[in-house]
Structure 1
Amino acid sequence: MFYPFFDPTMILLIPALLLSFWAQFKVKGAFAKYSEVRAMSGLSAEEVSRRLLDRNGLSGVRIERVPGELSDHYDPRAKVLRLSDSVNASRSIAAIGVAAHEVGHAVQDKENYGFLKFRNAIVPAVQLCSAASMPLFFIGLIIGSLNLLNLGILLFCGVLVFHLVTLPLEFDASARALRMLRETNILSQQEIGGAKAVLDAAALTYVAALVMTVLQLVRLVALRGMNRDE
């Protein structure tokens, strides 16, 4: 039976919630640890970003500072790499690793990397799917409409596709970042290990998001089955 605020299928989400909490703990711990370790090059994350962008023929990409912690991102539409307050001026291994990761996304954009092109193309549709899927599904549960249940599940599959595409995209950006830092000797071999620890922890958050989405889809299918059997 479905209850407005709780139903037995919510238990399915517990593993994903635990993984999500652990991922957040890992990324905050790794970033805090290596934020205390100054890179031997003495370069700031902003300086590293500029060097790597220019090296890859991306001198036209601007670097902007944005408020927040770990709010770093590359905007492919504006061709702007945005670094957070906690990263931009920092000369730590953690900040340099994060900045290089965002440069990795800029290089993907330049090379028309397939996963990036596809994700950018589906963003508007995914936003619609994300906003409409759950309300339609639960309205379907309340009024007993199998059509709305099916539509809600179908739209939620769009969210799953987004997460499936995001995972290899993020892994590739991290691999590019570590390779660029190694090839330019901006970080020593020992320091590369610290940057990798930060980026691996960050990647775990994307894995957790994917697992949560998969289990949420399983939950919706289970609820649909329970509703059909009643």
Structure 2
Amino acid sequence: MGLLIALIVMGVSFYVQWRLKSKFEEYSQVGLSNGMSGKEIAETMLRESGIYDVRVVSVEGRLTDHYNPQDKTVNLSPDVYYGRSVAAAAVASHECGHAVQHATAYSWLQFRSQMVPFLSIASQYMQWIILIGVLLINTSIIPLAIGVALFAVTTLFSFITLPVEYDASNRALAWIQKNRIVNEREYIMSADALKWAARTYLVAAIGSLATLLYYVSLLMGRRD
């Protein structure tokens, strides 16, 4: 049963990733009616949100866009930074949505950020601990129990990420609509693109939960 669930989640994940990439490819070909680049949109949103200490920079890669609260930078991939498309507008404003969350002390983002240092360390050893726990399950359940506890924290992190991502998208869509960065047709496309982006986080969270439940079943089965 556990293997079947894992395969289903994996299949759904591949589908959502494929749809996300195809959507962004499609909307990257649709020029923005106002002609603004992702960089210009990001800088405008930050400025109009009263944020002046965040830089907008270009980073290598594709779909590598993110906001870094540590150095206060909105990092945009070249296609978004220089792009003047609906996809660029959606992504740039979404990442600025995270900057607005940071500036306004959005509670879910703060909680998520506080977990990062622990998870960055735990993730280096977690899979090894779980592997050792599985191998030694007939001798001792302690290693597996520790591994499951660490994995539970990463699963919690995945679910905490959901409101952070959905809220950033909602802020982005509200801003580009209110400030007429996009027309009605472009707004629908932007909302569709961000919807599929958010679904990748939802599937990841569900997949993490399914894996956690599988490890818990192993642990409980051994205890019985």
The TM-score bracket by the shorter chain reads over 0.9
Measure the CA separation in 2 of the matches of 1:210 and 1:171: 13
> Which residue in 2 is equivalent to 1:105?
98
Gapped runs of 5+ residues in structure 2?
none
C-alpha offsets along residues 124-153 of structure 1, whole Å, 9 cap, x if unaligned? 112233233322122122123211111111
Does the CA contact (< 8 Å) of 1:101 and 1:174 recur in 2?
Answer: yes
Report what 1:81 is aligned to.
74
Give the 3-state SS of the residue equivalent to 1:41 in structure 2: coil
Residue of structure 2 aligned with 1:210, choices 185, 189, 205: 205
Distance in 2 separating the partners of 1:206 and 1:164 = 8
Q: Using the alignment, how far apart are the partners of 2:21 and 2:36 within structure 1? A: 22
* 1:107 positional shift: 0.2
Q: Aligned residue for 1:128? A: 121
Give 3-state SS (helix, strand or coil) of 1:137's partner: helix
Distance in structure 1 (CA, Å) of the matches to 2:64 and 2:70: 17
Superposed, which structure 2 residues align to 1:27-46 within 5 Å?
27-46=20-39
Identical aligned residues as a percent = 35
Q: Confirm or deny that 1:183 pairs with 2:178.
A: yes
For normalisation by structure 2, the TM-score amounts to: 0.95
Give the letter for the 1:196 counterpart. Answer: A
C-alpha displacement of 1:91: 0.5
* Bigger shift: residues 8-17 or 34-43: 8-17
Counterpart residue number, 2:148? 153
Matched residue SS, 2:79: coil
Point out where structure 1 has 5 or more consecutive residues left out of the alignment: 1-7
- What's the secondary structure of 2:58's corresponding residue? strand
- Give the Cα separation in 2 of the matches to 1:79 and 1:63: 9
TM-score by length of 1: 0.93
Letter in 2 for 1:124: P
Instruction: For residue 119 of structure 1, report the CA deviation from its aligned partner.
Output: 0.6
Contact 1:137–1:152 under 8 Å retained in 2: yes
**Counterpart residue type for residue 200 of structure 2:** T
Q: CA deviation at 1:56?
A: 0.6
Q: 1:137·1:149 contact (CA, 8 Å) conserved in 2?
A: yes
* Residue in structure 2 matched with residue 198 of structure 1 by the alignment: 193
Question: Which whole-Å deviations, capped at 9, do the CAs of 1:175-212 have from their partners, x for residues lacking one?
Answer: 00000001110101221000011100100100111011
Aligned counterparts of 1:199 and 1:14: Cα–Cα separation in 2: 26
**In angstroms, what is the RMSD of aligned CA positions?**
1.3
Q: How many residues align?
A: 222
Cα offsets for 1:71-117 (capped at 9, x unmatched):
01111110111110121111000111000000100000000000111
Moved more, 120-129 or 204-213: 120-129
